[in-house]
Amino acid sequence: MKSINVGLLGIGTVGGGTYTVLTRNHDEIARRSGRDIRITRVADRNLELARQVTQGKADVTDDAFAVVSDPAIDVVVELIGGYTIARELVLQAIANGKHVVTANKALIALHGKEIFAAARAKGVIVAFEAAVAGGIPIIKALREGLSANRIEWIAGIINGTTNFILSEMREKGLTFADVLKEAQRLGYAEADPTFDVEGIDAAHKLAILSAIGFGTHPQFDKAYTEGITRLDAVDIKYAEELGYRIKLLGITKRSEAGVELRVHPTLIPEKRLIANVNGAMNAVVVKGDAVGPTLYYGAGAGAEPTASAVVADLVDVARMMDAAVDQRVPYLAFQDEQLQDLPVLPISDISSAYYLRLRAMDKPGVLAEVTRILGDRDISIDAMIQKEPEEGEDQADIIILTHVTVEKNMDSAIAAIEALPAIAGKITKLRMEELGR
């Protein structure tokens, strides 16, 4: 049986999981792949940890550059994260003619173009299934499983931390701040949670999905990103009363004008499967013109789920490393020369339905004025609730769900409504997606 020597960079959570899965399932994987795939060298700053995990069965070093230039290594698995040293290591590995497997979404989202160009020049594979939605084989589904389709849109819960927080907020009626503390205590959120809760991690993954879906280079820098830190528990409650759940979605759509690329809290009809994805789980809905909507669900993070994707990539690399380049699936699903620079629409130009929460004086004529302002802009109302004022108050919440309109049109209506004397304070605006046919 043909041997494949793997060099592993980073033996932390995912690296440790990768080592464990590849060792535990070595025989089952060999039965599938017909290859003897082994991690023969491991680089980690924590030598003791590396020795403990590998138990003398792999060569251990703290010099990652020694691994990427080791002539005995066929494939480098990069699980260090970040995009400074990781980028250098990956480019160096490619320059040395090694195939690369990585779980590094930031690296692909920010430096994908450079990395794929280098890999193409050397004729090596760069695989990154683990970079999006952990153990869910969504890259494979999109690149290969749906290759017959013109992809219309992709929408996903692709950050487990924020989905955990939103699920807890809904189930327990707690505020963002309270649940964040709990999530940090349980290890679901980092001490500095910015990357997750501000939607940056989700935008990295979305940029990759969008590129693969539509045949562009990753355009993370043009993504619109709005996190869940300012989400009010009352909006979760009102959304539920109206039959919706609020999820932090990464959404990318293709239209005549360009590509929408946006991460933000989103109302979804509760009857949709993805609205019922709770806790730290991930799910991605892909709409193809032939297949319709399909959904992929599973663990989006964690040692072994992510390792599942890393090792699946290793199996693919082992199978295809000696194949001709045009027999391999292209890095971003489309032939390299076919990648287009589709324009990413600014958020003001996207189309969406909206949820508005406004606080109004409880007196006649207010609703008439609000609906006139919306009507003047051709924004039609899908549903509305006017709450009773609380005991002793003369203001009440009004919730409006609109049909689809262009965001700048909505913003103009909101400015006009906020200027009404009977309206108190700012209007809360959330976007809403049907995610149906």
Report in angstroms how near the CB of residue 23 gets to a second copy at its nearest. Answer: 11
The verdict on 295 binding a second copy (CB under 8 A) reads: yes
Among 51, 113, 120, 319, binds a second copy (CB under 8 A): 319
CB-wise, 127 or 223, nearer to a second copy? 127
Q: Under rule CB under 8 A, which residues in 19-58 are in contact with a second copy? A: 21-22, 24-25, 28-29, 31-34
Q: Please name the residues in contact with 375: beta carbons below 8 A apart, sequence gap of 6 or more.
A: none
Among 155, 203, 310, 353, binds a second copy (CB under 8 A): 310
Q: Are 339 and 215 in contact (CB under 8 A)?
A: yes
Among 78, 168, 260, 304, binds a second copy (CB under 8 A): 304
162: helix, coil or strand?
A: helix
Q: Segment contacting a second copy (CB under 8 A): 103-111, 166-174, 197-205, 285-293?
A: 285-293
Q: Are 165 and 297 in contact (CB under 8 A)?
A: no
Q: Tell whether 190 is in a known binding site.
A: yes
Cα dist from 14 to 49, 67, 104, 184, 377, whole Å: 13, 18, 11, 19, 51
Instruction: Note if 2 is an active site residue.
Output: no
Q: Under rule CB under 8 A, which residues in 386-415 are in contact with a second copy? A: none
The verdict on 312 binding a second copy (CB under 8 A) reads: yes
Sign of CA dihedral 410, 413, 415, 421: negative
Q: Which two tokens stand for residue 409?
A: 């049109």
CA distance 417 to 372: 10
Sign of CA dihedral 259, 262, 266, 270: positive
CB-wise, 192 or 326, nearer to a second copy? 326
CB-wise, 145 or 258, nearer to a second copy? 145
CB-wise, 328 or 387, nearer to a second copy? 328
- Catalytic hit among 140, 205, 247, 253: 205
Q: Under rule CB under 8 A, which residues in 107-146 are in contact with a second copy? A: 129, 135-137, 140-141, 144-146
Q: Tell whether 387 is in a known binding site.
A: no
Cα dist from 138 to 134, 309, 316, 404, whole Å: 9, 10, 15, 28
Q: Are 142 and 329 in contact (CB under 8 A)?
A: no
Give the DSSP per-residue string, 331-375. Answer: TTSS-GGG-B-PPBPPGGG-EEEEEEEEEEESSTTHHHHHHHHHH
CA distance 88 to 94: 10
Report in angstroms how near the CB of residue 21 gets to a second copy at its nearest. Answer: 5
DSSP label at residue 229: T
What are the binding residues for NADPH? Answer: 105
Q: Indicate which residues carry an active-site annotation.
A: 205
What are the binding residues? Answer: 9-16, 105, 190
User: Binding residues for a second copy, per CB under 8 A?
Assistant: 17, 21-22, 24-25, 28-29, 31-34, 129, 135-137, 140-141, 144-150, 215, 273, 276-277, 283, 288-299, 304-305, 307-312, 314-316, 319-320, 322-324, 326-330, 333-335, 338
